[in-house]
Amino acid sequence: MTERMVTSGTARLWSEDHGDPGAPPVLLISGDCQSALFWPDEVVTALVGGGFHVIRYDHRDTGRSTHRDFAANPYTFDDLTADAIAVLDAWDVGAAHVVAFSMGAGLAQLLAVDHPHRMLSQTLICTHALGIDFADNVARALAGEPSRDGLPLPESRVFEALELHAGPSADRSAELDRRVEGWRIMAGDAFDPAEFRRREERVIDHTGTLHQSIAHGYVTEGIATRGADLARITAPTLVVQAPLDPISPPPHGRHLAESIPGAALVEIPGMGHALTGAALDALLPAILAHLRR
């Protein structure tokens, strides 16, 4: 494993790689407000064992990457997409398989549309299509209003329970309790609190602070108007639908897969908006099969 700091505009991004640099590259893109360590080591180990060179990185405002006040230093989804390109450039990767989760899978869609030569394939996990106005959907869910597009809204209980705008807890144990409870709400079946407590322990150690940035929640530009562009995607695409996902509930995955030419859809039974150990047992073989195709 090698660590590398990457410059993207005015941001510095922490990244690391695993496996043989000569093997086919896989770029892991985390969800919103999640560092590289969102991806459990089981994912990295399986991909390296499958013959791939794995790169993961901290989004800006997460982990060991640049942290700034968003109001004074705003950015867009296009900027976050440029961050992914900067990571590929820093690791001398011309094109990669992209495996992405939630907001990261939105960035992957932008990569596939705007930088098709940088993508070998994409795996889009627990997300919605370009063209979906997620910020408006959240507002509608909290207000008890119906969806504009006929697709289900996120479940308001998620945002109410997580108290997205609350600061960090007073001590490490309380902060871990808060984060684990947040994952419990999102994770679906077979949730193991000890598993997620261990993961969040590592995230806090990696970041060096109890504070968990919510900056990505303020990013609104770059996705909601791009729906028609999905028809131009040529990268082989696997869409993963989690039937118990409270953020992008079914049939968001099917809608996304039907919007991308030739995309395949797989549903992972019992999965919510999290990478539980139980979900990985079914998810990892599906990802590896897609990458090998």
What residues are annotated to the active site? 102, 245, 273
Both structure tokens of 66: 């640049």
How far is residue 126's CA from residue 52's CA, in Å, rounded to a whole number?
23
How far is residue 59's CA from residue 32's CA, in Å, rounded to a whole number?
8
Residue-by-residue DSSP string for 248-271: S-TTHHHHHHHHSTT-EEEE-TTB
State the residue for tokens 């709400």.
185
What is the bridge-based pairing of β-strands 264-267 and 237-241?
parallel
State the residue for tokens 């039974």.
269
HEC readout, 146-208: CCCCCCCCCCHHHHHHHCCCCCCCCCHHHHHHHHHHHHHHHCECCCCHHHHHHHHHHHHHHHC
State the residue for tokens 């697709």.
151
How far is residue 79's CA from residue 128's CA, in Å, rounded to a whole number?
19
Which residues 6+ apart lie within 8 Å of 157 measured at CB?
Answer: 185, 246
Which residues 6+ apart lie within 8 Å of 274 measured at CB?
Answer: 183, 186, 187, 188, 191, 196
Both structure tokens of 105: 């899978």
